[in-house]
Amino acid sequence: MQLFRCPRTHGPHLERRYLLRWRWAAQTERADHFLEHPPEVPLLRWEDELPEPCVVHPEEVDTYPWAEDDTLPAALIARIDAWDDARTAEGGRDAPNYQGALSIPPGWRVGGFPSWASTGPMDITCASCRAPMRLLLTAGGDEMDPDSHSWMPLEDRDPSQQGIASIRGGQAVTEPTRLRFGRDRDLHVFTCPTDPGHPPQWVLS
């Protein structure tokens, strides 16, 4: 699967346009070919319109649903809220919380659950068949942030520091692709589980 983003904005609301393409793995070019000569786009208004060439080092992690509205049973959400309050009272702003430190990691990820930090939970249904859509991919501007430093790789931590202060490496580590998807937002790509030919939906949250 390849995700394309037009480097320019469109319309009166400066909207981004995306394109999803499915390809046979055997027919694709080698990744190192793409990294040899980064594309040159001469008329970019902002630096974050052109991605920084980089490679992916995937790892498998368990994720859990966003805890708001009816994404989980009400009694369980109440227990999570009480746990969060107790951690904050005990450890202050560096204390772990369910949403940021335990349920959904920041950054780019395949599958799992969407983060609804900016919009609140949304029902995403296929425009063609009305089936509930499935999260395929999340593209995030940051691979780590102050609310989710528990997900940070050990090699990017300063062992002499704790919590947020332990993040090291600068922008190359925290924002490796250099792409932004709106102010503190992730781009969620939803696809139809009944027919991959149905149009995907792009959700910023």
Question: What is the reported pLDDT for 125?
Answer: 96
Between 200 and 169, residue with greater pLDDT: 200
Nearest of 150, 155, 183 to residue 168 by alpha carbon? 155
Between 157 and 115, residue with greater pLDDT: 115
Between 27 and 112, residue with greater pLDDT: 112
Instruction: Please give the model's pTM, rounded to 2 decimal places.
Output: 0.83
Question: What is the reported pLDDT for 23?
Answer: 77
Question: What is the reported pLDDT for 80?
Answer: 96
Mean pLDDT of 64-92: 93
Q: What is the pLDDT of the chain when averaged over all its residues?
A: 83
Question: What is the reported pLDDT for 128?
Answer: 95
Question: What is the reported pLDDT for 77?
Answer: 95
Please say whether the dihedral angle defined by the alpha carbons of residues 67, 69, 71 and 73, taken in this order, is positive or negative.
positive
- Please check the confidence at residue 32 and state whether its pLDDT lies above 60: no
**pLDDT tens figures, 174-204:** 788 888 776 668 899 999 999 988 999 999 8
Report the percentage of the chain scoring pLDDT > 90.
Answer: 33
Kindly indicate the confidence band of residue 205, based on its pLDDT and cuts at 50, 70 and 90.
confident
- Pair of tokens at residue 136: 């395929």
